[in-house]
Protein backbone atom coordinates (compact mmCIF):
# COMPACT_ATOMS: atom_id res chain seq x y z
CA UNK A 1 0.00 0.00 0.00
CA UNK A 2 2.78 2.42 0.88
CA UNK A 3 3.08 4.97 3.67
CA UNK A 4 0.62 7.87 3.56
CA UNK A 5 1.42 9.49 6.92
CA UNK A 6 4.63 9.28 8.93
CA UNK A 7 5.23 11.04 12.23
CA UNK A 8 8.89 11.06 13.22
CA UNK A 9 9.89 11.63 16.86
CA UNK A 10 7.16 14.18 17.52
CA UNK A 11 7.64 16.10 20.75
CA UNK A 12 5.40 18.86 22.05
CA UNK A 13 5.88 20.60 25.38
CA UNK A 14 3.80 23.13 27.29
CA UNK A 15 6.22 24.59 29.79
CA UNK A 16 7.53 21.73 31.91
CA UNK A 17 4.81 19.35 30.66
CA UNK A 18 5.73 17.06 27.77
CA UNK A 19 2.48 16.13 26.02
CA UNK A 20 3.94 14.08 23.17
CA UNK A 21 7.33 12.51 23.80
CA UNK A 22 9.37 11.44 20.75
CA UNK A 23 6.28 9.75 19.29
CA UNK A 24 6.66 8.01 15.93
CA UNK A 25 3.95 6.30 13.88
CA UNK A 26 3.00 5.40 10.33
CA UNK A 27 -0.32 5.04 8.50
CA UNK A 28 -0.55 3.19 5.20
CA UNK A 29 -2.69 4.30 2.25
CA UNK A 30 -6.24 3.08 2.93
CA UNK A 31 -5.49 1.83 6.45
CA UNK A 32 -7.73 2.28 9.49
CA UNK A 33 -5.79 2.85 12.72
CA UNK A 34 -7.34 3.20 16.17
CA UNK A 35 -5.68 5.29 18.88
CA UNK A 36 -6.49 4.72 22.54
CA UNK A 37 -5.08 5.83 25.87
CA UNK A 38 -6.17 7.38 29.16
CA UNK A 39 -7.40 10.96 29.35
CA UNK A 40 -4.46 13.34 29.12
CA UNK A 41 -2.29 10.84 27.26
CA UNK A 42 -1.68 13.26 24.38
CA UNK A 43 -4.09 11.84 21.80
CA UNK A 44 -5.76 15.10 20.75
CA UNK A 45 -2.40 16.87 20.75
CA UNK A 46 -1.18 14.23 18.29
CA UNK A 47 -4.10 15.12 16.01
CA UNK A 48 -3.31 18.81 16.36
CA UNK A 49 0.30 18.11 15.35
CA UNK A 50 -0.83 16.12 12.29
CA UNK A 51 -3.50 18.64 11.22
CA UNK A 52 -1.31 21.67 11.92
CA UNK A 53 -3.14 23.27 14.84
CA UNK A 54 0.09 23.21 16.83
CA UNK A 55 3.72 22.84 15.80
CA UNK A 56 6.10 20.28 17.31
CA UNK A 57 9.07 21.35 19.39
CA UNK A 58 10.95 18.48 17.75
CA UNK A 59 10.18 15.95 15.05
CA UNK A 60 8.56 15.91 11.62
CA UNK A 61 5.23 15.17 9.95
CA UNK A 62 5.49 13.56 6.51
CA UNK A 63 2.39 13.26 4.32
CA UNK A 64 2.54 11.27 1.10
CA UNK A 65 6.31 11.72 1.00
CA UNK A 66 6.30 15.50 1.59
CA UNK A 67 7.46 17.18 4.79
CA UNK A 68 4.46 19.23 5.98
CA UNK A 69 5.80 20.03 9.46
CA UNK A 70 5.71 23.77 8.85
CA UNK A 71 2.58 23.99 6.70
CA UNK A 72 -0.51 25.75 8.14
CA UNK A 73 -3.74 23.80 8.72
CA UNK A 74 -5.36 25.19 5.55
CA UNK A 75 -2.55 23.85 3.37
CA UNK A 76 -2.71 20.45 5.07
CA UNK A 77 -6.44 20.31 4.49
CA UNK A 78 -5.98 21.04 0.79
CA UNK A 79 -3.23 18.39 0.67
CA UNK A 80 -5.76 15.79 1.83
CA UNK A 81 -5.94 15.76 5.65
CA UNK A 82 -9.44 16.15 7.09
CA UNK A 83 -10.45 16.00 10.74
CA UNK A 84 -13.37 16.06 13.11
CA UNK A 85 -13.35 17.43 16.66
CA UNK A 86 -14.33 15.71 19.89
CA UNK A 87 -16.75 18.56 20.61
CA UNK A 88 -18.54 19.40 17.33
CA UNK A 89 -17.66 22.85 16.04
CA UNK A 90 -20.19 23.76 13.33
CA UNK A 91 -21.12 27.28 12.30
CA UNK A 92 -24.24 27.14 14.46
CA UNK A 93 -26.16 30.00 12.79
CA UNK A 94 -25.62 28.60 9.30
CA UNK A 95 -27.61 25.77 7.78
CA UNK A 96 -26.22 22.26 7.52
CA UNK A 97 -25.84 22.73 3.77
CA UNK A 98 -24.02 26.04 4.20
CA UNK A 99 -21.62 24.41 6.66
CA UNK A 100 -20.67 21.90 4.00
CA UNK A 101 -20.37 24.53 1.28
CA UNK A 102 -17.72 26.33 3.35
CA UNK A 103 -15.62 23.18 3.54
CA UNK A 104 -16.21 22.18 -0.08
CA UNK A 105 -15.29 25.66 -1.35
CA UNK A 106 -12.44 26.77 0.89
CA UNK A 107 -11.16 23.40 2.13
CA UNK A 108 -10.88 21.87 -1.32
CA UNK A 109 -10.70 24.89 -3.67
CA UNK A 110 -13.83 23.86 -5.57
CA UNK A 111 -15.79 26.11 -7.89
CA UNK A 112 -19.35 26.98 -6.83
CA UNK A 113 -21.15 24.38 -8.96
CA UNK A 114 -18.79 21.56 -7.95
CA UNK A 115 -19.06 22.59 -4.27
CA UNK A 116 -22.85 22.34 -4.44
CA UNK A 117 -22.70 18.89 -6.04
CA UNK A 118 -20.22 17.39 -3.58
CA UNK A 119 -22.08 18.91 -0.60
CA UNK A 120 -25.33 17.24 -1.66
CA UNK A 121 -23.53 13.94 -2.19
CA UNK A 122 -21.90 14.04 1.27
CA UNK A 123 -25.19 15.04 2.91
CA UNK A 124 -26.73 11.94 1.35
CA UNK A 125 -23.85 9.67 2.42
CA UNK A 126 -23.96 10.89 6.02
CA UNK A 127 -27.75 10.77 6.40
CA UNK A 128 -28.17 14.53 6.70
CA UNK A 129 -29.91 15.37 3.42
CA UNK A 130 -33.31 15.87 5.06
CA UNK A 131 -31.70 18.33 7.51
CA UNK A 132 -29.87 20.31 4.83
CA UNK A 133 -31.79 23.55 5.37
CA UNK A 134 -31.92 23.38 9.18
CA UNK A 135 -29.63 25.50 11.34
CA UNK A 136 -26.64 23.49 12.55
CA UNK A 137 -27.26 24.73 16.09
CA UNK A 138 -30.63 22.95 16.18
CA UNK A 139 -29.28 19.46 15.44
CA UNK A 140 -29.35 16.50 17.82
CA UNK A 141 -26.06 15.11 19.16
CA UNK A 142 -26.00 12.32 16.58
CA UNK A 143 -26.70 14.81 13.80
CA UNK A 144 -23.93 17.11 15.05
CA UNK A 145 -21.53 14.15 15.06
CA UNK A 146 -22.61 13.33 11.51
CA UNK A 147 -22.12 16.97 10.52
CA UNK A 148 -18.56 16.87 11.92
CA UNK A 149 -17.89 13.86 9.72
CA UNK A 150 -19.58 15.48 6.73
CA UNK A 151 -17.63 18.72 7.08
CA UNK A 152 -14.41 16.73 6.95
CA UNK A 153 -15.53 14.61 3.99
CA UNK A 154 -16.39 17.54 1.72
CA UNK A 155 -12.71 18.52 1.75
CA UNK A 156 -12.05 15.23 -0.11
CA UNK A 157 -9.53 13.85 2.40
CA UNK A 158 -7.14 11.00 1.77
CA UNK A 159 -6.54 10.84 5.53
CA UNK A 160 -9.45 11.33 7.95
CA UNK A 161 -8.77 12.08 11.62
CA UNK A 162 -11.75 11.19 13.84
CA UNK A 163 -11.66 12.41 17.46
CA UNK A 164 -14.10 10.47 19.68
CA UNK A 165 -16.92 10.77 17.18
CA UNK A 166 -18.91 7.98 18.87
CA UNK A 167 -18.79 9.50 22.36
CA UNK A 168 -22.13 10.28 24.00
CA UNK A 169 -24.25 8.31 21.52
CA UNK A 170 -26.72 5.55 22.31
CA UNK A 171 -25.87 2.03 21.15
CA UNK A 172 -28.16 2.32 18.13
CA UNK A 173 -26.83 5.75 17.18
CA UNK A 174 -23.27 4.49 17.54
CA UNK A 175 -23.94 1.52 15.25
CA UNK A 176 -25.42 3.80 12.59
CA UNK A 177 -22.43 6.14 12.74
CA UNK A 178 -19.98 3.24 12.62
CA UNK A 179 -21.62 1.97 9.46
CA UNK A 180 -21.09 5.36 7.83
CA UNK A 181 -17.43 5.39 8.88
CA UNK A 182 -17.00 1.88 7.49
CA UNK A 183 -18.41 3.02 4.15
CA UNK A 184 -15.97 5.94 4.08
CA UNK A 185 -13.08 3.59 4.78
CA UNK A 186 -14.29 1.09 2.17
CA UNK A 187 -14.11 3.91 -0.39
CA UNK A 188 -10.34 4.07 0.16
CA UNK A 189 -9.96 6.84 2.74
CA UNK A 190 -7.30 6.18 5.39
CA UNK A 191 -8.58 6.74 8.93
CA UNK A 192 -6.94 7.46 12.26
CA UNK A 193 -9.60 7.23 14.97
CA UNK A 194 -9.26 8.26 18.61
CA UNK A 195 -12.06 6.54 20.50
CA UNK A 196 -13.05 5.31 23.96
CA UNK A 197 -15.96 3.25 22.61
CA UNK A 198 -13.92 0.14 21.86
CA UNK A 199 -16.74 -1.77 20.16
CA UNK A 200 -17.06 1.03 17.61
CA UNK A 201 -13.32 1.15 17.07
CA UNK A 202 -12.93 -2.59 16.61
CA UNK A 203 -15.72 -2.63 14.00
CA UNK A 204 -13.55 -0.51 11.68
CA UNK A 205 -9.82 -0.57 12.47
CA UNK A 206 -7.26 -3.27 11.69
CA UNK A 207 -4.63 -1.91 14.07
CA UNK A 208 -4.61 -0.13 17.43
CA UNK A 209 -1.92 2.14 18.86
CA UNK A 210 -1.88 2.88 22.58
CA UNK A 211 -0.25 6.01 23.99
CA UNK A 212 0.33 7.03 27.59
CA UNK A 213 2.08 10.17 28.84
CA UNK A 214 2.75 11.07 25.20
CA UNK A 215 4.61 7.84 24.42
CA UNK A 216 3.59 4.91 22.24
CA UNK A 217 3.41 1.81 24.43
CA UNK A 218 1.69 -0.72 22.15
CA UNK A 219 0.91 -1.02 18.45
CA UNK A 220 -0.63 -4.02 16.69
CA UNK A 221 -3.78 -6.02 15.90
CA UNK A 222 -6.75 -5.00 18.12
CA UNK A 223 -7.20 -8.34 19.91
CA UNK A 224 -3.49 -8.64 20.63
CA UNK A 225 -3.17 -5.08 21.90
CA UNK A 226 -6.25 -5.26 24.13
CA UNK A 227 -5.00 -8.51 25.70
CA UNK A 228 -1.72 -6.89 26.69
CA UNK A 229 -1.33 -6.80 30.52
CA UNK A 230 0.28 -3.36 30.25
CA UNK A 231 -2.64 -1.97 28.23
CA UNK A 232 -5.20 -3.57 30.55
CA UNK A 233 -3.58 -1.91 33.55
CA UNK A 234 -2.93 1.52 32.04
CA UNK A 235 -6.03 1.96 29.89
CA UNK A 236 -8.64 -0.45 31.19
CA UNK A 237 -7.65 -0.18 34.86
CA UNK A 238 -7.32 -3.94 35.22
CA UNK A 239 -4.11 -4.93 37.02
CA UNK A 240 -2.81 -8.45 36.46
CA UNK A 241 -2.32 -10.61 39.55
CA UNK A 242 1.22 -10.55 40.92
CA UNK A 243 1.61 -14.33 40.32
CA UNK A 244 0.09 -14.27 36.82
CATH of residue 201: 3.40.50.300
* Number of compact structural domains in the chain: 1
| Residue 76 belongs to a domain | yes
| Residue 207 belongs to a domain | yes
Q: How far apart are CA 149 and CA 144, in angstroms?
A: 9
Mean pLDDT on 198-203? 93
| Residue 128 belongs to a domain | no
The pLDDT tens digits for 91-102 are: 999 999 999 999
| Residue 70 belongs to a domain | yes
Q: How far apart are CA 61 and CA 78, in angstroms?
A: 16
Residue 209's closest CA among 182, 228, 237? 228
The pLDDT tens digits for 208-229 are: 999 999 999 999 999 999 999 9
| Residue 190 belongs to a domain | yes
Q: Is the pLDDT of residue 199 over 50?
A: yes
Q: Which residues, in sequence order, are CB contacts of 90 under 8 Å at separation 6+? A: 96, 99, 136, 137, 139, 144, 147, 148, 151
| Residue 119 belongs to a domain | no
The pLDDT tens digits for 41-71 are: 999 999 999 999 999 999 999 999 999 999 9
What's the predicted TM-score (pTM) here? Answer: 0.92
Contact 58, 9 (CB under 8 A): yes
- Concatenate the DSSP letters of all residues of 98-117 into one string: HHHHHIIIIIT---HHHHHH
* Range of the structural domain that residue 181 is part of: 3-87+156-234
Name the band, by pLDDT with cuts 50, 70 and 90, for residue 236: low
| Residue 115 belongs to a domain | no
Amino acid sequence: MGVLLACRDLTRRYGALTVTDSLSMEVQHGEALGVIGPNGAGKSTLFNLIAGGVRPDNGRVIFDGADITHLPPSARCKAGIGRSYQIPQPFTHMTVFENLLVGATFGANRAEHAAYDVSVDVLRRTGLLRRANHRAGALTLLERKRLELARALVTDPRLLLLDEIAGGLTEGECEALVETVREVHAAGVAIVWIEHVLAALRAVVSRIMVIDFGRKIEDGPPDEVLRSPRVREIYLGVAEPANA
